[in-house]
Amino acid sequence: MSTTEALVKELVEKNGKTRNSLMPVLQGIVQNERYLSEEALLSVARELDLSAADVYGTASFYTFLDTVPRGKNIIRVCKTITCHMKGKDEIVNSLCNALKIKVGETTHDNKFTLLTANCLGWCHKGPVMLINDEVYPDLTPQKALEIIEEYAKVAQ
């Protein structure tokens, strides 16, 4: 059994073998593997006795349930109005330059994926970004780069 299959089995065991468990199972996979691979989706379909297309269709509805490969750390910069007003473009630009990728891409070393997101709920402290589940409000381009550097160190 591959590690993905084992993970899916474990998640299904923990959450129950019903359709109602689909979200927590998919979330658990993303937590561990950063995205839902073909193998993971098929494994979930098998374990929960759902059609693979249905599992994919459900997953693809949710922004955080990625079905394309993602880096070890997923950066999501809030792009909604107040963060926009407070300089999210500068944050995104400085991250693009530092990581040498465009929005939507993953670095060659697979350490970072840079994405934008709709309102993250920190409008009073924008611009803001999430890295994985951690939140970083009140950003400046400088601050954002320092945070990324910390992650880069850990990821080594």
Of 1-9, 96-104, 124-132, 148-156, the segment contacting another protein by CB under 8 A is: 124-132
Letter string b/e over residues 18-46, b meaning 16 or more CB atoms within 10 A of that residue's CB? eeebbeebbebbbeebbbbbeebbbbbbe
Of 1-9, 61-69, 90-98, 145-153, the segment contacting another protein by CB under 8 A is: 61-69
Task: Tell me: does residue 62 bind another protein (CB under 8 A).
Answer: yes
CB 145 within 8 A of CB 98: yes
Among positions 3, 14, 17, 81, the unique one binding another protein when judged by CB under 8 A: 81
Task: Tell me: does residue 123 bind another protein (CB under 8 A).
Answer: yes
Sole residue written with tokens 């500068």: 90
Task: Tell me: does residue 72 bind another protein (CB under 8 A).
Answer: no
Q: H-type helices in the chain, by residue range?
A: 3-15, 22-33, 38-48, 52-59, 81-85, 88-99, 141-155
Cβ 100 to another protein, closest distance in Å? 26
Cβ 109 to another protein, closest distance in Å? 25
| Both tokens assigned to 88 | 């999210």
- Angle at which helix 22-33 crosses helix 38-48, to 10 degrees, equals 150
Point out which residues bind another protein (CB under 8 A).
18-24, 26-27, 30, 38, 41-42, 45-46, 50-54, 56-58, 60-65, 67, 80-82, 84-85, 117-126, 130, 133-135
